[in-house]
Amino acid sequence: MQTLKGQIVEQLNLQHIKPEDIGDDQPLFIEGLGLDSIDALELIVLLQQKYGIKLANPSEGPTVFKTVRSIAEYITAHKAA
Amino acid sequence: MKPLYINGASCISPQPTFGTEFPFEIKEYHGSRLACVEPDYTPYIDPKLSRRMGRLLKYGTTAGLQALRDTGVQVPDAISTGTGFGLLDDSGKFLKNVIEAAEGVVSPTAFIQSTHNTVSSNIALAVGCHAHNNTFAHKGFSFESALTDAQMLATENESIRNILVGAYDEVTDYSCQIMQRLGLIKTSEESNLDLLKHASKGTIAGEGATFFVLSPDRGAKIYARYRGNKLLYKPASGAVLSSAIQGFLAGHGGGVSDVAVLSGLSGDQRRDTLLQEVNTGLFEGNTILGYKHLCGEYMTSTAFAMWLGAMILHSRVVPAAAVLSGTPSCPQHILICNSYKNDYALILLSVA
């Protein structure tokens, strides 16, 4: 999960935030890290470029990108598949 | 068309022109590229938003917002801007990403920011301006087109009182390399302050963002009056250019002897011929000032020239480093006389 946090910080250019500052279950959008819809697109690109995973159903986005843990679980499930 | 008062101004350039007193301390460079002196952006842009912004978007937005603050206008009645290449660095990043991803999925941020009108849109979003918002990308006529747009708006619509007008451009590593390969930019390491002292091939690349708040009304703080501009494409000779200048000045009730000239000499002997001819012929005896050795050459450098001219008229101080010939006395009128390749532009400013 630490690697994924580093990738998120780099992809979203989260200045002044270190990977270790992001909690595993901290909400990423709105009240958490304050990410927005463009960040969501960046996360979709990250999944595809780094893990070869294409988010087939856009309606899954809010669930998949809720926290770092939920993203990690989605990656684990879909890499294995 | 109505003359407009310059009630607010802001300039981010390779010189320390932002947040400093005029005349600013001249900055010397050695090399062929002048980069903007970037200010602290945090008083203008939320760090959460700036993380996604390229350099030009940050300094362009900041210059625009500061011009509004300078005037005390929170939301302008219109925004009109000019840019030669727009957000060049983001365009380059986007294209590089497309190649690296083999035309697959790429990051959207650079693409979103790569359009020419990103700066004016970003300013509108920042201040909540839903009014007229135009960006002109007409090479060496880009800024002048924005000025004309503003003047037409103020002339035709009585409800428009404050117009944010500006221009912005950036030079990138890649664009500088290309211009050097084409022989447009020098490869030597000479001082920018020596650029106009001797003619040679090529010039120095520059960049900047300059904004003004123009209004038909006198504001609390007036820098100068913008009278009008005239564009000439590829004048056939110095005589044709001289004749056009005389006609332009006469059209504004003035003559050649009344003005100090802010000349757009670039130091490139292949491009400066007509301007030199005018300076030594029509304007023999006038005070000639230069500005491209201070900001470098770029398509919207006349915005920097207009800022410099307005500051001179307002402060009654002529920076010694800008004087090319004649006595540096305080003028009542300044004529900006620029060329960018075949695009020749005249802009007339007067004391307020």
Q: What is the pLDDT of residues B118-130, one digit of tens each?
A: 999 999 999 999 9
Q: What is the mean pLDDT of residues B160-166?
A: 98
**pLDDT interval class at B135 (50, 70, 90):** very high
* B72, B124 Cβ separation under 8 angstroms: no
pLDDT at B105 over 90: no
- Please say if the pLDDT value at position B3 is more than 80: yes
C-alpha distance from residue B2 to each of B13, B222, B259, B277, B343 (Å): 29, 16, 20, 31, 24
The domains located in chain A, with CATH, are 2-80 (1.10.1200.10)
**What pLDDT is recorded for position B258?**
87
* pLDDT, position A81: 56
A4-54 pLDDT, tens digit per residue, is 999 999 999 998 889 999 999 999 998 778 888 889 999 999 999 899 998
d(CA B250, CA B235): 19
Residue pLDDT, tens place only, B312-347: 999 999 999 999 999 888 899 999 999 999 999 999
A17-32 CB burial, b ≥16 within 10 A, e <16 = eebeebeeeeebbeee
Q: Which residue in A has a C-alpha nearest to residue B106's C-alpha?
A: A45
Helices A68-80 and A37-51: crossing angle, nearest 10°? 30
Among B103, B106, B105, A47, smallest CA distance to A55 is for A47
Average pLDDT over residues B204-217: 98
Q: Give contacts of B 252-311 with A, CB under 8 A.
A: none
- What percentage of chain B reaches a pLDDT higher than 90? 89
| Set of chain A residues whose Cβ sits within 8 Å of the Cβ of B52 | 13, 38
A77 touches chain B (CB under 8 A): no
Task: Catalogue all structural domains in chain B, each as residue range(s) with its CATH number.
Answer: 4-215 (3.40.47.10), 226-350 (3.40.47.10)
What band does A80 get if pLDDT is binned at 50, 70 and 90? Answer: low
Say if residues B292 and B267 touch (Cβ distance below 8 Å). Answer: yes
Query: What confidence tens digit (pLDDT) does each residue in B299-314 have?
Result: 999 999 999 999 999 9
Q: Which pLDDT score, from 0 to 100, does residue A33 have?
A: 85
Q: Does A72 touch chain B (CB under 8 A)?
A: no
Each residue's pLDDT tens digit, B55-97: 999 999 999 999 999 999 999 999 999 999 999 999 999 999 8
Q: How far apart are CA B104 and CA A50, in angstroms?
A: 13
Instruction: Find out whether the peptide bond into B23 is cis, omega within 30 degrees of 0.
Output: yes
* A chain contacts of residue B47, beta-carbon cutoff 8 Å: 15-16
Does any CB of chain A come closer than 8 Å to the CB of residue B52?
yes
Residues B258-305: pLDDT tens digits? 899 999 999 999 999 999 999 999 999 999 999 999 999 999 999 999
* Per-residue pLDDT reduced to its tens digit, B17-65: 999 999 999 999 999 999 999 999 999 999 888 989 999 999 999 999 9
Mean pLDDT of chain B: 95
Q: How far apart are CA B286 and CA B265, in angstroms?
A: 16
Residues 6+ apart with CB under 8 A from B229: B144, B147, B148, B345, B346, B347, B348
The number of beta carbons lying within 10 Å of the beta carbon of residue B101 is 14
